[in-house]
Amino acid sequence: MKDLIKNTTDTKMVYLLMSLVLLGGLLFNSWGVVLFVVIMLQVGVWTGFCPSKWFFGKCGFKKADL
């Protein structure tokens, strides 16, 4: 497990999280979930801060540029 964390970047984890959240929105037919992902992506673009990248960085994943 530690090798997985060392070899995986926080950006890849954010992409994985986004895809799982969008899949959940599809399965539950929830446009609110899709809207949440859109808003979080906009926050990352306009502020340069991504809460998910911060969280995965704190969990020990390698840091990468957004």
Domain boundaries, the chain: 2-58
What integer pLDDT is reported at residue 21 of this predicted model? Answer: 94
Q: What is the mean pLDDT of the chain?
A: 87
Q: Is the pLDDT reported for residue 2 higher than 60?
A: yes
Can you tell me whether residue 26 is helix, strand or coil?
helix
In sequence order, the β-bridge partners of residue 31 are none
Q: Is the pLDDT reported for residue 20 higher than 80?
A: yes
| pTM score, whole prediction | 0.79
Q: Rounded distance, CA 40 to CA 60, Å?
A: 22
Q: Rounded distance, CA 39 to CA 4, Å?
A: 29
12 near 55, Cβ under 8 Å?
A: no
- Mean pLDDT on 27-51: 91
